[in-house]
Amino acid sequence: MLLLVMLLLAACAEGRGPEGQYPSECIDRADNDVDGLFDCEDPDCAVAPDCIAVGDDDDSSDDGGASGDDDSAEDGVLECEPCPGSFEIGTLAEFDDILACESISGHLRIASLDATVPQIPSLPCLTQVGGPLEVSDNDTLVSLGGFHELTQVEGDLRLFMNPLLEDVSSLENLVEVGGSLAIDYQDSLTQVDGFSSLVSVGEVLHIYANESIENFDGFSSLSSVGGRVAIGSNNALTNVDGLESLLFVGGSLQLDENASLVQIDGLSNLVSVGDDAVGLGPLAHDEVPGSVSVSNNWLLETLDGLESLATVVGFLRCSSNPALYSIDGLANLMSVGGDLTVSDNGMLCQSDAESVLNSVVVGGQSDVAGNSGNCD
């Protein structure tokens, strides 16, 4: 008994043991050793009794037998198939309803999970959701866990008010979101590395009120957003460098109230911003239809990154950025179809602002005023 106690203490001292260290760990659909592999996929479970197949040929109806159909995976074989309809998941047991789903034609909503589900269990078949995918209001959810096979969401993808969520890496194979992508009120999420394969968002990219996100490095493959890009109230965000691949924004570009944002150089490859820009065909590199708002970013120092912007069909607003001292990033701006507002930027020299903008043709009202920086 003393030896057993000593061994257990030693194991605790060294950290978490391998998958399968405790009974049933190889079939609980959780990543117990946090290595990204679930249950029988983990080599640590290779010799576990629960993971040794018994030769199911999957061609008859005697489910669970040694030579029959085995949709329940009792023999280690899982038949993936399309699932019609929509699913609402709130307990661990309800995930069994979508375990064999290769695709879901309707929506998938995972909300208000009970405290026994800190991570979404493995969903080894799921590659596509035909409607919206929502993960919201889960007070104890730490990891999205089981979405490793997901490549496409045809509707919206919404991550909303999961206060402990810190790991979205299982979305690493997601290539396309047909609707909007919204990441809002995720207090513990520091990075979005799980979106590294995402190429396009069909509608809006909305990233709002995430207290801990520091950068967008995980969006390194994102090249087009069909609607607007709205990035606001992300208090730890320091830069948007992860958006270097972004070429097209179909709606407006809004960068507002990001308290720690210092620079926006990551937008330097942006070709077009404006309504339905993605569907307009080839555009001149410097043609940017739409509206642009850069306001209330307390640490933003320059507008470097907007050098390609020459034409704004909507309004352009740059105001109340107290650390902004240079708008040279707008030096190539030729015309604004709506109102032009550059005001109340505490470190920006008023005469410098006027010099940069004095040749811009403005279709609406022009308000370049209240910029009180030192002009020496």
Sequence ranges of the domains in the chain: 18-49, 84-369
Output the pLDDT for position 313.
Answer: 79
Provide CATH code, domain 84-369: 3.80.10.10
> Which tokens go with 226?
């069909």
CA geometry: angle 319, 231, 162, nearest 5 deg: 140
Mean pLDDT, residues 286-296: 74
Q: Is the pLDDT of residue 270 over 90?
A: no
Q: Is the pLDDT of residue 12 over 80?
A: no
CB-based contact 293:255 (threshold 8 Å)? yes
Output the pLDDT for position 66.
Answer: 42
Output the pLDDT for position 176.
Answer: 98
Question: What tens digit of pLDDT does each residue of 40-94 get?
Answer: 888 888 767 667 654 444 444 444 444 444 444 444 568 999 999 999 999 999 9
Q: Is the pLDDT of residue 263 over 80?
A: yes
141: closest CA among 121, 171, 155, 156?
121
Q: At 175, which amino acid appears?
A: V
Mean pLDDT, residues 224-234: 94
Name the β-bridge partners of 82. Answer: 103
Give the model's confidence band at 327: pLDDT under 50 very low, under 70 low, under 90 confident, else very high.
very high
Output the pLDDT for position 48.
Answer: 75
